[in-house]
Amino acid sequence: MSVENLSMAKALNQGLRQALLADPKVLLMGEDIGPLGGVFRVTEGLHAEFGDNRVLDTPLAESGIVGTAIGLAMRGYRPVCEIQFDGFIFPAFDQITTQLAKLTSRHHGSLTMPVVIRVPYGGHIGAVEHHQESPEAYFAHTPGLRVVSPSNPHDAYWMIQEAIQSNDPVIFFEPKSRYWPKGDVDTSASGFPLHSTRVVRPGTEVTLVGYGPMVSMLLQAAEIAESEGTSVEVIDLRSISPIDYDPIVASVQKTGRLVVAQEAPGFVSVGSEIAATVTERAFYSLEAPVLRVAGFDTPFPPAKLETAYLPDADRILEAVDRAMAY
């Protein structure tokens, strides 16, 4: 077994490098990803190793980046696009939702679209407007797209490679608040398929479900709850579309209670979908209503107010207490 202690940014870098080595049809595209290595240095060193034809600096034109990637995919390439910040993805929204997501269906499966779009997303970095958003629900709602988000370096290393190997378009949301904390990465084995949900902490009384940046917060809340006498199970969704519901339903059948947490606003959200589906599939196991903890239904606030907007351990624990009160 080969285990390295890496940050998520470095794990993604190494995953991209392995994909470039494994398949000459893989290429990277994005603003400042070449010699600079990207704003978050995720592609650092890859331009020097693979050159201009494999790691391409693009103009500031997100629609053009994705449109070009679609054309490359039609010619047999596997482009990996970087959208520099979450709020910059909307100029490319039309290309993603009306072209990229639909082309395979439009061609009755004869044309594949192996395009990965990497999106740094979420808060907790004190950034300005358009740099701290959580737009994942827009893309999870769009048939034809796969949507995933790793929460730790090991998953980041393997999930980016699995996404690149997919013949369907994958929107790959990277929690930028988790770029720097380090964790063990087993480079010899993944352990989990791309679209699998994973139990990261066992418990018996309440199930907590989240993805991407929220998983570390859920684990923090679970530690506090444990110290106060409540056993909490934590589940990392990993894949936002499709969702692997079996581990979630099995957990709820055991605990009888579910709290879903996300940074994104709660209305018509991923958390809403999980709450509805679990209620349908495990209604008679529930001892309390499914509760949601989310960002507020407002535009993301200025940086000084982000801690009031984003869910923290206290808000999660308050939901746990409410669930236990039934």
pLDDT digits (tens, 9 = 90+) for 59-118: 999 999 999 999 999 999 999 999 999 999 999 999 999 999 999 999 999 999 999 999
Structural domain ending residue among the three candidates 138, 156, 186: 186
* 164 within some domain: yes
What's the Rg (C-alpha) of the chain? 19
Number of neighbours of residue 240 by Cβ within 10 angstroms: 24
What is the sign of the dihedral through the CA atoms of 40, 46, 51 and 55? negative
Of residues 190 and 282, more confidently modeled: 282
182 and 202 fall within a common domain: no
Mean pLDDT of 199-209: 98
User: Considering 152, 186, 220, which residue would you say is the last residue of a domain?
Assistant: 186
Cα-Cα-Cα-Cα dihedral sign, residues 173, 177, 178, 180: positive
Query: pTM, whole model, 2 decimals?
Result: 0.96
Please check whether residue 296 lies inside any domain of the structure: yes
Residue 131 annotated in active site: yes
Catalytic residue, chosen from 107, 108, 131, 195, is 131
**Token digits for 125?**
């970095």
In a domain, 72, yes or no: yes
DSSP state of 81: E
Q: Which domain holds residue 299?
A: 198-325
Domains contained in the chain, number: 2
Residues 235-281: tens digit of each pLDDT: 999 999 999 999 999 999 999 999 999 999 999 999 999 999 999 99
**CA atoms lying within 13 Å on the CB side of residue 232:** 28
243 shares a domain with 172: no
Helix (H, G, I), strand (E, B) or coil at 156: helix
